[in-house]
Structure 1
Amino acid sequence: MHPTTPSKIQVQAVKYDGSLHYDWEATWLQETDQYVLVYGQPGRKLKHHTRKQIFICDTPSLEYYDLQEGYTVNLDLEPDGERYYCNICLPAERTASGLRFVDLDLDLIRSTAGEWTVVDEDEFLAHQLTYHYPVDVVQGAERMLHRLQDKIKRQAFPFDGFLESWLVRLPHNSGANRLS
């Protein structure tokens, strides 16, 4: 699906067994054979099915979903700066209503102060047993984490200014809500 005008899509994160983990609505921005880029509007509802809670996301986000490699990148525009949240996952897939990815628990986060941290390693270890991750999935997730850290260090795509170049196009910068 390659919309010519911005459209709403549903983003779903699922666990390895296919159970819905969380989902939210976003606005399609761009798609290539490599990735899908979407905009998360302030005030969107994130339904966290695992915790049986709904969260309101007050800040906008630019969300990158790789269709070939096992990671996602959210650039969250917090009041005190830009925060990055990267999921290690299986490659994202297009669905009839939007996007879906299998969350493998490992996350790489950059604080608004610019510090990168790996989080949820304990969940990754626990869920290897709970969801019976095959050895190749475990090894692939660990390799993807290291590959992502290397991309960041080298400032390789999409950490080469690509995401930041989109910020001026987003409604929060223009005062107009062109993408709604």
Structure 2
Amino acid sequence: MQLFPRGKWFTAIFNDEPRYTEIYVDVTTPVEFSDDVVTMIDLDLDVIKRRDGTVFIDDEDEFAEHQVKYGYPAEVIVTARQTCDWLVGAVSTEEPFLSVYKTYLDKVR
């Protein structure tokens, strides 16, 4: 199940068992919605929560490389990093990462 929150700098994928990755969050620019298209820019930073509770940041090297390659503005870099740092704690302590998504996964089983 995928989450595209309005006005936030991330998108999230919630996986059911047997996937060992429970939550996979991409740090992105805020999502833009049109009639049948969802658009955002993936900023490479990923926060992953495994089913055993382990949380880690992935692709920090790509984020650093792409800052230079694509000329990310300073405010994009700062906001992406702040969002990533917040997500590291939020995926284990805040909704929609705790239980809300599970009710939706139950509907598609």
1:92 aligns with: 31
1:48 aligns with: none
- Aligned to 1:138, the other structure's residue is in SS state helix
1:158 to 80, 96, 100: 96
After TM superposition, the structure 1 = structure 2 runs for residues 54-133 of structure 1, keeping only pairs within 5 Å, are 62-81=1-20, 83-133=22-72
Pick closer, same or farther for the CA change 1:95–1:116 going to 2, 3 Å: same
Q: Please report the RMSD computed on the Cα atoms of aligned residues, expressed in angstroms.
A: 1.6
CA offset digits 1:78-131 (Å, max 9, x no partner):
425552110001111113323111100000111233211100000000000111
1:137 to 72, 76, 80: 76
- Aligned to 1:133, the other structure's residue is in SS state coil
Please, which runs of 5 or more residues in structure 2 have no aligned partner?
none
Structure with the bigger RCO (C-alpha within 8 Å, sep 6+) is 2
**Aligned residues between the structures:** 109
CA distance in 2, matches of 1:68, 1:143: 15
Structure with more strand by fraction = 1
CA distance in 1, matches of 2:72, 2:12: 23
Structure with more helix by fraction = 2
- Aligned to 1:77, the other structure's residue is in SS state coil
Q: Percent identity?
A: 27
Of 126-135 and 140-149, more deviation after overlay is shown by: 140-149
Please, which runs of 5 or more residues in structure 1 have no aligned partner?
1-61, 174-180
Letter in 1 for 2:52: A
Pick closer, same or farther for the CA change 1:163–1:93 going to 2, 3 Å: same
CA distance in 1, matches of 2:21, 2:107: 16
CA shift, 1:143, in A, is 0.5
CA distance in 2, matches of 1:84, 1:160: 10
- Aligned to 1:66, the other structure's residue is in SS state coil
Q: Is the radius of gyration larger for structure 1 or structure 2?
A: 1
Task: Provide the TM-score with structure 1 as the length reference.
Answer: 0.56
